[in-house]
Amino acid sequence: MDWKIERIRERCATCEQPFRHDERVRSAITTDEQQRAVRRDLCGACPPPGGPSTVWWETRWQQPAQRKKKVDFDRLLRVFEAWQKAPPKDSDALLYLITLLLVRKRFLKLVDLVHEDGREHLRLRRPGPIETWYLAPAPLLQPSDLPPLRLRLEELIDGTIEDDELQGATDAATAVGN
């Protein structure tokens, strides 16, 4: 006979109180009328499971770890290429971080560091059947610059800043440049 036993619940089966992190939890398995295994998780305040056919054990409730954010690198590459044509105002530092992410994941290849107009730039190549070359700013970042940049980068990664907003920003920059 195969039994499918469910995972631990987030609340007590008796009093419905949510479990706290590292709280001792009693888990019990009994069989119902159809001889299926039924799991019940109980907090320390509720009576322990009983009965001759009950199997029980104690464990500690652990908060589920937060999942890492999934990065859409194709989207970041689209943003990078759009900003190459028409960079938004004051976006050098963010473009630099995007560039570093794309280099790390091998969407772009760093060729060298060049000085142009008194500023440092990264010379990059996009591998593929048709090689595309780019220059990206390489500003000197201070530790105080990082928290706001991280928030802006997370907005790009999360999709909080939509593609049409990005396109609108590049269209506006293009219109100003003409």
Please tell me the predicted confidence (pLDDT) of residue 156.
83
**Residue 136 to residues 36, 104, 105, Cα–Cα distance (Å):** 62, 15, 16
User: pTM of the entire structure?
Assistant: 0.57
DSSP output for 58-72: EEE--PPPPPPPPP-
Residue at token pair 């500690």: 60
pLDDT tens digits for the chain (178 residues)? 567 788 888 999 999 999 998 999 999 888 878 878 888 899 988 887 777 778 888 889 888 777 777 888 998 999 999 999 988 888 899 999 999 999 999 999 999 999 988 899 999 999 989 889 999 999 999 999 999 999 988 888 876 665 555 554 444 434 334 3
**Residue 53 to residues 7, 34, 78, 116, 153, Cα–Cα distance (Å):** 20, 14, 61, 79, 55
**160: Cβ–Cβ under 8 A, 6 or more apart, which residues?**
154
CA proximity to 81, closest of 100, 101, 95, 97: 95
Please tell me the predicted confidence (pLDDT) of residue 163.
54
> Distance between CA atoms of 51 and 35, rounded to whole angstroms?
15
Please tell me the predicted confidence (pLDDT) of residue 147.
93
Please tell me the predicted confidence (pLDDT) of residue 64.
77
Amino acid, res. 57: W
Please tell me the predicted confidence (pLDDT) of residue 146.
92
Please tell me the predicted confidence (pLDDT) of residue 161.
62
**35: Cβ–Cβ under 8 A, 6 or more apart, which residues?**
1
Query: Exposure of 123 by Cβ count < 10 A (0-12 exposed, 13-18 middle, 19+ buried)?
Result: middle
Please tell me the predicted confidence (pLDDT) of residue 133.
93
Please tell me the predicted confidence (pLDDT) of residue 134.
94
Residue 18, phi then psi, degrees to nearest 5: -70, 145
The gap from C-alpha 85 to its chain's centroid, in whole angstroms, comes to 28
